[in-house]
């Protein structure tokens, strides 16, 4: 009799642990989705600003062309190419910012200022996103999670390789 109580106790504890782990993982997946949504919206906004800059008087025609092309590419890229196409856009924006001293018009300065603010935010958003992704990957590689398939059918999140220094 005592043994039975013990076994039942262990089983209950184990199932509690499984349910706890599952909800823990669920929360992590949720966090990844949220941090990605944030990052994604910030990147979209950056692409929009890049297009606006390309159309403004700030840039010469060649830079305009480059900016427009890379902004469109970043916007239409799918998940896998996103990272690299965003890096290309970063590079293009970086080149333009390097010459910002020669820009005088007030309205153009405002645009550049907005871009700068956005860049700071993107940097923080990337680090938040990368952290939540690595955390999730780490947890999903643990034995209990793999053995009992606690992740269900959720795809393994991928990190965003972003050249944060390029901007």
Site for another protein in 98-137 (CB under 8 A): 120-121, 124-125, 127-128, 130-131, 134-135
Half-sphere exposure of 80 (CA within 13 A, CB side): 0
Distance CA 53, CA 93 (A): 9
Site string for another protein, 27-56 (x = CB under 8 A): xx--x--xx-xx--x---------------
Q: Closest approach of Cβ 114 to another protein, in Å?
A: 10
| Beta carbon nearer to another protein, 58 or 125 | 125
Q: Residue 46: which of 104, 85, 101, 100 has the closest Cα? A: 85
DSSP code for 141: T
For tokens 């599952």, the residue is 22
Cα(92)–Cα(7) distance, integer angstroms: 64
Q: Which residues bind another protein (CB under 8 A)?
A: 19-20, 23-24, 27-28, 31, 34-35, 37-38, 41, 120-121, 124-125, 127-128, 130-131, 134-135, 138-139
């Amino acid at each position: 009799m005592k043994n039975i109580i013990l076994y039942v106790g262990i089983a209950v504890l184990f199932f509690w642990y499984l349910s706890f782990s599952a909800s823990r993982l669920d929360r992590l997946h949720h966090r990844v989705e949220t941090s990605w949504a944030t990052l994604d919206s910030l990147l979209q906004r950056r692409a929009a600003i890049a297009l606006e800059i390309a159309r403004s008087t700030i840039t010469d025609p060649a830079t305009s062309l480059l900016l427009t092309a890379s902004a469109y590419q970043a916007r239409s890229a799918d998940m896998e190419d996103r990272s690299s196409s965003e890096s290309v856009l970063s590079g293009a924006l970086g080149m333009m910012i390097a010459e910002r001293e020669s820009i005088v018009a007030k309205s153009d300065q405002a645009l550049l200022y907005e871009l700068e603010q956005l860049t700071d935010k993107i940097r923080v958003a990337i680090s938040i996103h990368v952290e939540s992704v690595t955390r999730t990957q780490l947890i999903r590689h643990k034995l209990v999670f793999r053995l009992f398939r606690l992740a269900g059918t959720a795809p393994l999140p991928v990190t965003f390789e972003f050249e944060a220094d390029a901007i």
